[in-house]
């Protein structure tokens, strides 16, 4: 290339206009607190993830130093392997663990926190009811299947394993060699506990709020519950799908019945017939009911066991109002008085007795309204007649008889 430039008489220096500057690579900035060696190990495929750096650790250490107790500030914190005992244990077991200690200027080391084992306060034991000789003789009801030795053995296990009956049933080895289920062990213990609690408090009224008194343990119900749970867990996928379909169908039937029961409370149209549920009652009308209502209470039988008693009751009620003058106004007055006297609407269960009582009450109300209307007409007639007689007497008082004209 340089020979060609010499032949053409061109300078060998490169043309700056033709030289394109190389793009500068964007270098990642080293985070504050990270060493250069660790940052040099990173490349583009290892992005920097946020973490706790030296500066953050230093701030945390400063905060911890400010929270130190005066005893910690006066000495150096060291850790030693020391023995300890758990006060919650009764066997005197001694274990070892790392304990926080303070070392003073003289080199003496002591525990930073003296006192009992901090986790001993978390040992919460339930109360186990135990009996003495007098309570065994006078309070506890004897069971022929349980001896006193076996009962005390059960109470010892309850005290040892803190009423964890799964462990008690697993460790239970009765001296007599009897095999007991978990439900038998629970029933025996809670029976004794309930008897002791009632006797010590003076009666069941004083401890009626206690759980073992309010809800006594039932071994048979517990066994039935476990069998039901086992049967439920042993079902296959097909059985679960079939049960779900059955529940959905039952839910649909229930919704249909509820929807059908809502219009039954409202008066049906003239061209509709509503059938009531068949009942096993005598079909003869009540004594005196037919003469009182003016209609037969025995409805027409559509088919064996099915009567239109509710529709028949509404038809008789409409016939009662047919001969009453006033139309819709009279019917409104009857409904108003019926609501004031007590019943809210029609009978829910359309039996012969309820329908007869309902129609008899409506007949009494219609008769009362008719009598009230006649009384009002009579009072109005008497008032108008009395007013006309008074006006005649006043007019006659101002006239002179004809025989006195001469």
The residue with tokens 């206690």 is 210
Which CATH number characterizes residue 156's domain? 1.10.10.60
- Among 230, 261, 294, residue at a domain's last position: 230
pLDDT, position 65: 61
- Across 10-19, 340-349, 365-374, least confident range: 10-19
406: which DSSP letter? -
pLDDT, position 345: 66
The count of other CB atoms within 10 Å of the CB of residue 340 is 8
Any idea what the Cα angle at residue 154 is, between residues 152 and 160, rounded to 5°?
100
Distance, CA of 309 to CA of 322 (rounded, Å): 20
Ramachandran bin of 294, using left for φ above 0, alpha for ψ from -120 to 50, beta for the remaining angles: left
Residue 74 contacts residue 81 (beta carbons within 8 Å): no
The residue with tokens 């109470």 is 155
Per the structure, how many domains does the chain have? 3
Question: Is 23 within a domain?
Answer: no
Q: Do 137 and 109 belong to one domain? A: no
pLDDT, position 202: 86
pLDDT, position 169: 94
SS3 191: helix
pLDDT, position 175: 79
Which pLDDT band, with edges at 50, 70 and 90, does 189 fall under? Answer: very high
Average pLDDT (177-199) is: 92
Distance, CA of 152 to CA of 338 (rounded, Å): 71
| Mean pLDDT of all residues belonging to the chain | 76
Distance, CA of 180 to CA of 148 (rounded, Å): 15
Distance, CA of 366 to CA of 276 (rounded, Å): 26
Average pLDDT (115-136) is: 88
Helices and strands of the chain, counted as H and E runs: 15, 5
90: which DSSP letter? S
- Among 165, 200, 230, residue at a domain's last position: 230
Question: Is 11 within a domain?
Answer: no
Question: Is 171 within a domain?
Answer: yes
- Across 206-215, 226-235, 348-357, least confident range: 348-357
Q: Do 296 and 365 belong to one domain? A: yes
Question: Is 359 within a domain?
Answer: yes
Q: Do 106 and 190 belong to one domain? A: no
Question: Is 162 within a domain?
Answer: yes
Average pLDDT (332-358) is: 74
> What range defines the domain where residue 296 resides?
282-383
Orientation angle between helical segments 182-201 and 148-160, nearest 10 degrees = 90
pLDDT, position 80: 92
Share of the chain above pLDDT 70, in %: 69
Structure tokens at 393: 């007497």
Question: Is 57 within a domain?
Answer: no
CA distances from 6 to 10, 15, 18, 177 (A): 6, 15, 19, 120
Per the model's pLDDT, the better-predicted residue between 328 and 227 turns out to be 227
Question: Is 110 within a domain?
Answer: yes
Structure tokens at 188: 């025996």
pLDDT, position 325: 64
- Among 194, 214, 230, residue at a domain's last position: 230
The residue with tokens 């028949």 is 312
Residue 48: phi and psi, rounded to 5, are -80, 120
Q: Do 80 and 161 belong to one domain? A: no
Distance, CA of 140 to CA of 131 (rounded, Å): 9
Beta-bridge partner residues of 81: 98
26-82: pLDDT as tens digits: 777 787 778 888 888 876 656 555 555 556 666 676 666 666 666 555 668 889 999
Structure tokens at 37: 């060696």
Q: Do 143 and 75 belong to one domain? A: no
Share of the chain above pLDDT 90, in %: 28
Structure tokens at 196: 């002791």
Distance, CA of 86 to CA of 281 (rounded, Å): 78
pLDDT, position 290: 42
pLDDT, position 52: 56
pLDDT, position 13: 67
- Alpha helix (H) residue ranges in 202-236: 211-214, 219-233
The count of other CB atoms within 10 Å of the CB of residue 310 is 21
Q: Is the pLDDT of residue 15 over 90?
A: no
The residue with tokens 């009531």 is 276
The set of residues, in sequence order, having a beta carbon less than 8 Å from that of 72 and lying 6+ positions away, is: 102, 112
Structure tokens at 32: 């504050």
Distance, CA of 273 to CA of 313 (rounded, Å): 11
Q: Is the pLDDT of residue 221 over 90?
A: yes
pLDDT, position 294: 45
Question: Is 326 within a domain?
Answer: yes
Distance, CA of 108 to CA of 101 (rounded, Å): 10
Q: Do 149 and 212 belong to one domain? A: yes
- Alpha helix (H) residue ranges in 211-351: 211-214, 219-233, 237-261, 289-293, 309-322, 328-341
């Amino acid at each position: 290339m340089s020979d060609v430039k010499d032949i053409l008489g061109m300078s060998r220096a490169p043309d700056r206009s033709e030289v394109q500057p190389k793009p500068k690579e964007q270098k990642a900035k080293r985070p504050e607190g990270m060493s250069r060696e660790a940052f040099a190990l990173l490349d583009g495929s290892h992005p920097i993830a946020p973490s706790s750096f030296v500066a953050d650790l230093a701030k945390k250490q400063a905060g911890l130093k400010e929270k130190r107790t005066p005893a910690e500030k006066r000495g150096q914190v060291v850790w030693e392997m020391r023995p300890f005992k758990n006060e919650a244990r009764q066997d005197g077991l001694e274990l070892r663990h790392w304990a926080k200690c303070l070392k003073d200027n003289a080199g003496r080391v002591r525990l930073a926190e003296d006192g009992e084992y901090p986790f001993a306060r978390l040992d919460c034991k339930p109360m186990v009811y135990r009996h003495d000789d007098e309570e065994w003789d006078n309070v506890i009801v004897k069971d022929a299947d349980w001896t006193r030795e076996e009962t005390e053995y059960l109470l010892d296990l309850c005290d040892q394993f803190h009423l964890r009956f799964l462990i008690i049933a697993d460790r239970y080895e009765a001296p007599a060699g009897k095999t007991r289920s978990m439900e038998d062990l629970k029933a025996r213990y809670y029976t004794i506990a309930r008897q002791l609690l009632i006797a010590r408090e003076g009666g069941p009224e004083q401890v009626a709020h206690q759980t073992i008194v309010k809800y006594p343990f039932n071994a048979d119900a517990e066994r039935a519950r476990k069998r039901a749970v086992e049967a439920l867990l042993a079902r296959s996928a097909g059985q679960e799908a079939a049960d779900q379909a059955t529940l959905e169908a039952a839910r649909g039937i229930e919704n249909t019945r509820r929807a059908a029961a809502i219009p039954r409370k409202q008066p049906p149209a003239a061209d509709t017939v509503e059938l009531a549920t068949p009942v096993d009652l005598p079909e003869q009308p009540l004594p005196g009911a037919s003469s009182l209502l003016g209609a037969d209470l025995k409805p027409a039988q559509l088919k064996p066991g099915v009567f239109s008693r509710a529709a028949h009751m509404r038809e008789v009620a409409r016939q009662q109002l047919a001969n009453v003058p006033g139309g819709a106004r009279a019917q409104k007055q009857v409904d108003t008085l019926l609501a004031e006297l007590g019943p809210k609407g029609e009978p829910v269960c359309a039996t012969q007795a309820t329908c007869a009582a309902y129609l008899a009450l409506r007949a009494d109300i219609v008769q009362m309204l008719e009598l009230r209307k006649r009384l009002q007409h009579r009072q109005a007639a008497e008032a108008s007649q009395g007013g006309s007689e008074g006006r005649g007497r006043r007019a006659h008082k101002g006239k002179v008889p004809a025989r006195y004209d001469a």
